[in-house]
Amino acid sequence: MSLHRAPVAILGTGSCVPDRVMSNDEVGAPAGVDDAWIVRKTGIRERRWAAPGEATSDLATGAARRALKAAGIGADQLSAVVVGTSTPDHQQPATAAFVHQNLGGSRTAVSVFDVNAVCAGFMSALEAAHALVALSGGYALAIGADTYSRILNPADRRSVILFGDGAGAVLVGPAGAGRGIRASAFHIHSALTGLIRVPAGGSRRPYDPAAHDAGLQYFTMDGRAVREFFMSTVPHLTKQFLNDSEVLPSDIAHVIPHQANGLMLDELGPMLDLPGATVHRTVRELGNTGAASVPLTLDRAARSGALRRGELVLLLGMGGGMSISFTLVQW
């Protein structure tokens, strides 16, 4: 049985980053690297880190408020709030519940939950919000938000130099003529789950003094293997997605990719073979903001006036697991 899905569009975008700017020299010193080394390896100049007491839900709420304002929709009109994050406020309840509380929506008949696909979390949140609105109507927030500064090892130069904190949000609702979310696709290579992980803090390896002493509470990544995987996999999956969506590569006007690493984007962009597309970036000034990077970059592109009505926008998510995801949007 197939269920009818009504057309759904992105009606508003928003983003939020902390005030605290962290230079390359500040984050690099404990790891034994300097500004020149970080720029050469990543293309990142600076990033934002959350202040003490500032949580993922705070950033997510800021982004959500801006998306609601851009769409002209009140919080009490929401039927769903979905947050993609791998750095929640708490193990429970869902960070989305705190966002709903912060927004002050009076409606209680709202679907509120988190999803975790690491840096591709927003893409899953968007698909869930899209499906809920398509099947039941109303308006939904899809948010990507992370505070990776809380789980980074200051001495690990492979990770501490890459990540910033932030949030991005979109408000989805019924589509008007000539716009809407046209297609999406998700891929998982679960044999590679060990490439990106936080070893302790879950049911497999609870967080305890021994785990703390071993540094197992920190984010770890095999950067070389991650880069090789994405570079060898993303281009052909992109071509497959566009073919399945019956869209020519030349039809894509904009690409909003996960902001993993500036140098990786330099290499990946031409390999996508999208001759008319602008590849949008925030990695230079914000670093890798995890699940926030796609919606945050989308918001900046939208607010700059770069996206024009009717243009095709390709959202590209890449995250631990290892996951790759696509969403095609007619703006």
Active-site residue set: 119, 258, 288
Decide if 79 contacts 27 (C-beta within 8 A). Answer: no
**What tokens were used for 163?**
């990540």
- Catalogue the E-assigned strands of the chain: 8-16, 21-23, 46-48, 78-84, 111-115, 139-146, 166-174, 180-188, 196-197, 220-221, 252-257, 278-279, 312-319, 323-330
Neighbours of 116 (CB within 10 A): 18
Decide if 29 contacts 70 (C-beta within 8 A). Answer: no
**What tokens were used for 298?**
């989308």
The candidate with the shortest Cα–Cα distance to 314, out of 206, 244, 238, 217, is 238
Decide if 289 contacts 56 (C-beta within 8 A). Answer: no
**What tokens were used for 221?**
């990544």
- CA distances (Å), 148 to each of 24, 118, 330, in order? 16, 11, 31
Angle at 189 between CA 187 and CA 190, to 5 degrees: 120
- What are the two backbone dihedrals, phi and then psi, of residue 149, each rounded to the nearest 5 degrees? -60, -20
Angle at 251 between CA 245 and CA 252, to 5 degrees: 85
Q: How far apart are CA 100 and CA 96, in angstroms?
A: 6
Q: How far apart are CA 1 and CA 118, in angstroms?
A: 31
The residue whose two tokens read 């508003």 is: 12
Residues 6+ apart with CB under 8 A from 72: 12
